[in-house]
Structure formats: structure tokens, C-alpha cells
Amino acid sequence: MAKKKNTEQPAAKPAGGLFTYAPAPESPAAAGDIASSYGHFIGGQFVDSSGSEALKTVNPATEEVLAEFAQGTEEDVDRAVAAARKAFGDWSALPGSERAKYLFRIARIIQERGRELAVLESIDNGKPIRETRDFDIPTVAAWFFYYAGWADKLDYAGFGPNPRPLGVAGQVIPWNFPLMMLAWKVAPALATGNTVVLKPAETTPLTALRFAEICRQAGLPKGVVNIVTGDGRTGAALTAHPDVNKVAFTGSTPVGRAIARQLAGSRKKLSLELGGKAANIVFDDAPIDQAVEGIVNGIFFNQGHVCCAGSRLLVQESVQDELLDALKRRMSTLRVGDPLDKNTDIGAINSAAQLARITELTEAGEAEGADRWSPECELPGTGFWFRPTLFTGVSQAHRIAQEEIFGPVLSVLTFRTPAEAVEKANNTPYGLSAGIWTEKGSRILWTAERLKAGVVWANTFNKFDPTSPFGGYKESGYGREGGRHGLEAYLDV
Ligand code: NAD
Ligand code: MG
């Protein structure tokens, strides 16, 4: 097919070809009451900002404004850190078994209010309800349950007897898994006896603010969790605050670098979880249909807004044609559209800015000579959308093979030998994750040993479990979240 044709608006046609689906909408009302404007959550209360600037969060599927929220000032951050400091003494002095009760209670409330949180996350972020309902929110609850279990067992975590918390943790999170990133940061911090000030991302503050209500519902002592909203300026005020003992950041590599520079020479402990450009490697003996499912999950899950997304497919040359045919067939069945429809596979791109970035990088892919392909699919008229996209004829030097696109775009490269696969997989400044598809156990081990990636999945992809540490090498950051290792980031060891 000629390149030009693929980027044109396709004719309306139901995705899937064979079947059409009746709409199966979840009710937006299930999100519960969304206030027209929000302040910060400091010392157990919702309070107004000391400044007058307000930001708006939209539903990226409709561009409708959902709520206004405060742009946190330095003074707001200062108040929140003071509240966390004040709460730290009593909280850290509680026996672990008492802290655990609060965490278990929070986990149960998250389960009880799961539908509400799933719908709220879906409308604020744009991700499909199928994912928030079946993945995000259950994972959030699982994280709290898991770290609740550690709270009274810290003596046995391998860091010596009676390991001490660090103090006040300043946590800055991104928009791609808003409540899940909150859970990954808040649960281990609280279990280990720290108090927190968390800043959610500026396009997705609503579930963090709802979480503040859950903290109240759970009777969590005032000031143990504080939520300050705002953009990068608020984030920078938090990470720079002199009374913060620990900074945890997930987001882009440039901001991660800036924070590392800002903190150099300070006594703050820092963990960074930054971007990725993961290789998903398919060997010639891989079960093709299974691999196709894994590839689709690897790059189209959450619109590809996933730091560990399998954004580079490395396929052994001898099975390239068969695999790409099957992959294109499968991509043609992906349903793009209303995130609240239970049949939707790919929801809205989180923001106009992210859509512009994806568009720019895919245009660069074409300009540099790669071949672009997308299935036909109708996109809604308003909101931010991007078709699932495949690039073949990609060379290692292309921007689409090197830069994180953070969208539903897969770059395909080929290899002939296992050694070449490893070399290409590692040819990236990142090192967060990788996938291996082969029927041979020995080949899995041989390859995994040589991949410079924090997480390596074999014959699966994007599997997350609170018991399993997650984190990167090189420009993907340092420190681990999840598992016993995740406790270390919040303890003085
Ligand atoms: P970002 O790094 O700018 O934002 C992440 C968080 O950091 C947000 O809460 C933001 O308000 C805050 N922030 C921004 N500047 C800050 C500063 N100077 N100090 C402290 N906090 C600051 O990321 P983005 O602009 O939302 O996304 C840009 C790119 O980052 C994406 O295209 C993607 O490649 C990458 N990204 C990666 C992840 C990940 O999970 N690793 C998540 C989001 C974005
Ligand atoms: Mg939003």
C-alpha cells in the first residue's frame, strides 16, 4: 500500500470485520460527585491554595472540563510538608501492626469503591474502562494489601533489626496510571512509617483527590497523607523542599535528570522511574499467535502510555512475514473509541500535548523512511485520538527506534541471530523492560542474562505484581518499586 493512503481518514467500518458490537457503556455517573473546583488535601482537610491560579482537568475523550484544581504554590507545599512533618512522630512510633490496620482498611475501601474509582480514572485519563476496572484498580488494592502485610514484618525484610523510616517523602507521579502510581508510592512509604506529600500529574488529579477522601474514610491520622495539586512548578517546589527526606519521582527522563541535579549534594534519598524503549524479541520458534497477543498487549495497552511498553518489536527475519501478517490481522480487530464502552481496547490519548508528541514522532518516522501502517478505524470527532500504528523498515538510528513515543506506535526491526537480537535490544539509552518469545527455556535464560533491563518477561508482557520489584537501568532511572526491594527506598538502611 502506498504510504500516503494510510494516513488519510479511512471510511467508516466497524473494527473487527466479522462482528459488530452493540455499545456497552459504563455510566459516567458511577464516578460519583466531582466538585467543580478542588483545593489541596493538607493535614486531613481540603484547604484553599494560598495562590489564586487554578488549572483545569479535562476528559480527553470529549475535551469537556471535569473540574478546576489549585496550582500549588511554594507556600502550599511548605504547609503540606509541615503537616507531614508534624504527623511523622506519632505515625512512625506506631507499632507496624497498627499501621497495617490503616493500610488494610484503605485497601478494602479501594475494593469497595472500585467501580467509582475505575470510572473516575477512565474519564480523567482517557483509558478504557476495561483496563481501569480489571487492571488499574485491582492492582492499586493489591499494592496496599501487600505493603500492609509488610508493616509489622520490617525486622525480617533483610535490612537488619528495627529499620527506621526516612521521614517525609515528597512524591511526584505521572498521568499514565494515576492511582496506581500513587499506590506504588504511598503504600510502601506508609508501611515503613514515613509520611507523604504527593503531587499528582496536572492532567489527572481526580483519583488522587478522591484517594484523599478515602484516607479520611479510613480514619488515617491527619497529615500522614497530603495531596498538593499543580503542574511541574509545584513538583519542583516539593522535590526542592529542604524538609523533605526522600524524593520519589516517576515521569520523563529530562525532568528526572533535573531532579537528580537539584538533589545532588543534599542528604535526600532519591528514586527515579523514568522512560523506556523496550525490545519485545520474537524468535523463530515462538508460538506466533501467542506472541501476537503479547505484542498487542505490550504496545497498545493503555494507548501505549506505558514506560515499560514493548515499543520495539525485534522479530527473527525468517518469521517476519508470518508474524506481521498475523499482527496486522489482530490490529484490525482493535476497537478504538469511547473509554467508557466496555468493548473498547484503545481509549483516548491523555492530552493534546501528548497527541502532538506522538504525531511529531510518527511524522519523523515517515520522513526518515520507515513504512507506516494502521488498520482502518473510525475515530471520534472530538477528543484526542491516535490509530494503532505499525512501522516496518525501521533502522536503529531512526528516532522512532530510539525515542520514547509513549503512544500506540510499534517500531519493527529484524534480526538473524540471537546475538544480534541482544545487541539491538540493548542499543538504547533506556533499560526498563524487555520481552522474549521462544519455546526454548535455555534460550530465554541465555537472552535474559544478556539484556540490560530491569524487568524481562518471557512469553508474556506487562505483568505486574506487588511482590515483584520493578525499575530500570541507565536512563530509565534507579531504585526499585514493589516487593521487598521496594521497602528499601523508604528505609534508612
Ligand atoms: P513529566 O516528567 O513532565 O511529568 C511527570 C510529573 O512530573 C508530573 O506530575 C509533572 O507535573 C511533574 N514535573 C514536571 N516538571 C517537574 C519538575 N521540574 N520538578 C518536579 N516535578 C515536575 O512528563 P510529561 O510531560 O507528562 O510527559 C512527557 C514524556 O515523559 C512522555 O511523552 C513520556 O515519554 C514520558 N513519561 C514517562 C512516564 C513513565 O511512567 N516513566 C510517565 C509519564 C511520562
Ligand atoms: Mg484529565
pLDDT digits (tens, 9 = 90+) for 378-423: 999 999 999 999 999 999 999 999 999 999 999 999 999 999 999 9
Query: Looking at the CA of 204, which ligand is closest?
Result: 2
Which residue among 273, 404, 481, 488 is the active-site one?
Answer: 273
Centroid of ligand 2 to alpha carbon of 306 (angstroms): 17
Give the pLDDT of residue 283: 98
Give strand pairing partners of 412: 313
Query: Nearest C-alpha to atom 12 of ligand 1 is from which residue?
Result: 232
Alpha-carbon distance 202 to 351, whole Å? Answer: 10
| pLDDT at 15 (0 to 100) | 52
All domains of the chain, ordered by start, with CATH? 28-273+475-492 (3.40.605.10), 279-462 (3.40.309.10)
125 CB within 6 A, ligand 1: no
pLDDT per residue over 304-318, tens digit each? 999 999 999 999 999
* pLDDT on residue 20: 79
pTM: 0.95
User: Which atom of ligand 1 is least distant from the CA of 239?
Assistant: 20
Residue type, 321: D
293 is catalytic: no
**pLDDT score of 10:** 42
> Which of 71, 172, 180 is the pocket-test mutation for ligand 1 (most atoms within 8 Å of CB)?
172
Which residues lie at CB < 5 A from ion ligand 2?
Answer: 57, 124, 203
307 is catalytic: yes
pLDDT tens-place values along the chain, 493 residues long: 344 444 444 434 455 556 678 999 999 999 999 999 999 999 999 999 999 999 999 999 999 999 999 999 999 999 999 999 999 999 999 999 999 999 999 999 999 999 999 999 999 999 999 999 999 999 999 999 999 999 999 999 999 999 999 999 999 999 999 999 999 999 999 999 999 999 999 999 999 999 999 999 999 999 999 999 999 999 999 999 999 999 999 999 999 999 999 999 999 999 999 999 999 999 999 999 999 999 999 999 999 999 999 999 999 999 999 999 999 999 999 999 999 999 999 999 999 999 999 999 999 999 999 999 999 989 999 999 999 999 999 999 999 999 999 999 999 999 999 999 999 999 999 999 999 999 999 999 999 999 999 999 999 999 999 999 999 999 999 999 999 999 999 999 8
